[in-house]
Structure 1
Amino acid sequence: MSDLTTPVASSAVAGSAERSVDESLAQELVERARSEGVELVGPAGLLTGLTKTVLETALEAELDEHLGYPKHAVEGRNTGNSRNGTRAKTVLTEVGEVELEVPRDRDGSFEPKIVRKRQRRMSGVDELVISLAAKGLTTGEIAAHLADVYGAEVSKDTISRITEAVVEELTAWQSRPLDSVYPVVFIDAIHVKIRDGKVVNRPVYTVVGVTVSGERDILGLWVGDGGEGPKYWHQVLSEILNRGTVDVCIVVCDGLRGLPEAIADVWPQAIVQTCVLHLIRNSFRYASKADWAELARDLRPVYSAPTEAAAKTALDELAGKWGERYPAIIRLWQNA
């Protein structure tokens, strides 16, 4: 038994030791930076220097692979291509602007992947800008934030181009062709804070389709204002129809105003199934909190019944026990 557990234990000890060394090194660097008055980010920051070292080392490794030999190696003589010094380049990263010395080759065939030719921003910067824009910051506020925190000068036009590229990708995704048939489609909403002059809570309706192979596919996202009706839902479902989905077998949704009618109009053969979770939640709205636990136990036989007859029997028993106190709950389940 000890022979079997020893390798595992040794691996765990080695991993723990490696983490301890990494943490000690990081702590030493931070303490040294503090003692010397060095900032973590910014033009002369600790992280900026580390980022410069890592990127330049990676670029040198890429050039080694491209040429087929390491720097100063004798096998590189008279091979037809060799190193040709470096060129200065400023790249905007998540820790601010970094001055790089990018290695070159004589015939100009080196195409680095870590920092591509003519690339001025690392991908993490685009993600940071998009995240700030999603939180409702204007282009001016994002530019000011990058300047204050990272010491990086990013123009409003650059920020606009970054966000517009995301909008273009989102538009292409939102209009992509869909499967012709989805056995099941779920329609539900999440409430998020959206800045439209002021920050307000808005529902974002998510339509998720289950493909014939059993995979889930997000068909699209639509922002509402809380007062959606038949016209709104007919427009949403017609858009899905026009993108290629000609039939849906079952649509699972809450009883949103005008939605069942729109489903019947766009996909006449579809079965509208009220979401059980929404039914349970809505039931609790009509009941005293003191009765929630007992009511939940009595509702379970209704929605977990193996047959329609068993469900009706369980619903009759529920009505007999709770109908006088909470008639709205019984009507809710009967209508569903």
Structure 2
Amino acid sequence: MKKALSERILNAELDEHLEGRPHRRQRQPPQRPFEEVGFDGQVEHDAVDLADRAGTFDPKLIAKYQRRFLDFEVSRYARGMTVREIRGHLEELYGIDVSPDLISAVTDAVLEEVGEWQNRPLDAIYPLVFFDAIRVKIRDEGFVHNKVVYIALGILPDGTKEILGIWIEQTEGAKFWLRVMNELKSRDVADVLIAVVDGLKGFPEAINAVFPQTWSEPASCI
């Protein structure tokens, strides 16, 4: 996903650069090694260099020959900060001066990629899924609100961990968890063998309403 986001950012910046220009885009081989550093550590992969035929494209958000790329702030704050705030944030922290139009274009591209990830098909069976929610402060339309982030973490048969989904709501409740279960089912999940949950009243019942054979286990027992 991080690779896809970085390529979306580069493409959006190139589109903005080429607007009103006769130059056509081209992919510029070879691919360059690329290290992305986020809260979960370093991830090294190849990011595609993009160029216009006139050779005038000089990306700012992911600069040429840049090997370390911190989590992109526009993607992180896109839903909570104004374009003006994002622009000032990028200039203050990274010394990057970009146009409001570019920020809007990149934000739209990033959110589209995130939306595709949120709705991607899932595996049919998960041996183990951790369901949890945490309370966080989130900036929304210029104001900071307390919200609940719902997380479903699946464990595959080979032990691989996969985030099945992340949802944000005002409060935690079994009714919303029921909505989460229905969404997972609509994304091709047929069964969850063991669900690890907290002590929220009605939570196991919400799970079994969609996955009747699932065994719910309190997190303290794992």
Q: CA deviation at 1:229?
A: 3.5
Structure 2: which 5+ runs fail to align? 1-12, 14-25, 33-48, 64-68
Letter paired with 1:233: W
Moved more, 238-247 or 220-229: 220-229
Report the equivalent of 2:163.
Answer: 218
Aligned AA (1:207)? A
Aligned to 1:121: 59
Selected match of 1:178 from 122, 133, 153: 122
| Structure 1 residue 215, shift from structure 2 partner | 1.4
Which residue, 111, 118, 121 being the options, matches 2:28? 111
Query: What is the distance in 2 between the residues matched to 1:177 and 1:151?
Result: 37
- Among 130, 145, 148, the residue aligned to 1:203: 148
Question: What residue identity is the alignment partner of 2:156?
Answer: T
Residue identity over aligned pairs, in percent, reads: 39
> Equivalent residues in 2 for 1:162-311 (5 A)?
162-197=106-141, 198-230=143-175, 232-276=176-220
CA contact (8 A) 2:61 2:96 kept: no
Instruction: Tell whether the 8 Å contact from 2:126 to 2:191 is kept in structure 1 after alignment.
Output: yes
Query: Would you say the 8 A contact 1:185–1:248 is kept in 2?
Result: yes
Shift of the 247–160 alpha-carbon distance from structure 1 to 2, 3 Å rule, reads same
Cα distance in 2 for partners of 1:218, 1:142 equals: 27
Q: Deviations over 1:83-127 (max 9, x none)?
A: xxxxxxxxx9xxxxxxxxxxxxxxxx9935565313442453795
More helix by share: 1
Change in 2 beyond 3 A, CA 1:128/1:244: closer
For the aligned residue pairs, the C-alpha RMSD in angstroms reads 3.0
Of 131-140 and 163-172, the range deviating more from structure 2:
131-140
Alpha-carbon distance in structure 1 between the residues aligned to 2:73 and 2:129: 34
Q: Could you state the TM-score of these two structures normalised by the residue count of structure 2?
A: 0.65
Distance 1:151 1:258 in 2: 49
Change (3 A) 1:140 1:249: same
Separation of aligned partners in 1, 2:27 and 2:161: 42
SS at match of 2:181: helix
1:116 is aligned with what amino acid? L
* Alignment CA distance shift 1:138-1:260 (3 Å): same
**What is the CA distance between 1:252 and its match in structure 2?**
0.6
Q: Which amino acid aligns with 2:197?
A: C
Higher radius of gyration, 1 or 2: 1
Alignment of 1:37-76 (within 5 A): none
CA 1:184–1:145: 2 relative to 1, 3 Å: closer
Unaligned runs of 5+ in 1: 1-91, 93-108, 277-302, 305-336
Counterpart-to-counterpart distance in 1, 2:89 and 2:201:
43
- How far 1:181 moved relative to its partner? 0.6
- Greater relative contact order (Cα < 8 A, sep 6+): 2
C-alpha distance in 1 between matches for 2:120 and 2:103: 26
Greater fraction strand:
2
8 A contact 2:75–2:111 mirrored in 1: no
Q: CA deviation at 1:250?
A: 0.8
> Does the aligned pair in 2 maintain the 1:133–1:163 contact within 8 Å?
no
